[in-house]
């Protein structure tokens, strides 16, 4: 059985990558850990804040690969502690955010159990390019 693509119109050339990004976003939407907020701080800037209580900066990583911001956390197991009850989640996680073309990560930092990642899209100038039409 063939799958019908939403972006299969002959007028939408080269959008297959966009479709695969939408599919990846739909798959990762099910994971709820760690909780996060996304806020728009200006017309061209955003802030992602993840609740990472208990994680030290060296236990966290943020990378950009193929227009995806990948935030991961992993804590080493502390075998010296004997918990009677363990209700604070410190499990490993990997959270992916798909970034639009041109979005840049400006900075990231941890404070009071919150990992904050600042994003921006620099202003670009519109370029009009004339294409010469020749006879063959």
Which of 52, 22, 47, 27 shows the shortest CA–CA distance to 37? 47
Query: Which residues, listed in sequence order, are joined to residue 118 by a DSSP beta bridge?
Result: 47, 107
- Residue ranges per domain, the chain? 35-120
Measured CA to CA, the distance from residue 81 to residue 132 in angstroms comes to: 73
Contacts of 4 (CB under 8 A, 6+ apart): none
pLDDT tens digits for 71-128? 999 988 878 888 899 887 678 999 999 998 889 999 999 999 999 999 999 888 888 9
Instruction: Report DSSP state, residue 100.
Output: P
Give the angle 108-113-116 at the CA atoms, nearest 5°.
Answer: 20
Does domain 35-120 sit in CATH 2.60.40.790? yes
pLDDT, residue 4, reads 59
């Amino acid at each position: 059985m063939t799958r019908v693509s939403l972006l299969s119109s002959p007028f939408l050339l080269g959008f297959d990558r966009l479709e695969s990004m939408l599919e990846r976003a739909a798959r990762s939407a099910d994971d709820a850990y760690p909780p996060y907020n996304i806020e728009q701080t200006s017309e061209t800037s955003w802030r992602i804040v993840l609740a990472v209580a208990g994680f030290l900066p060296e236990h966290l990583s943020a990378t950009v690969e193929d227009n995806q911001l990948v935030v991961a956390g992993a804590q080493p197991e502390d075998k010296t502690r004997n918990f009677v009850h363990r209700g604070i989640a410190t499990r490993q996680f990997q959270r992916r955010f798909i970034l639009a073309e041109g979005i840049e990560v400006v900075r990231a930092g941890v404070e009071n159990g919150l990992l904050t990642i600042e994003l921006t899209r620099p202003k670009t100038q519109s370029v009009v390019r004339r294409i010469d039409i020749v006879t063959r």
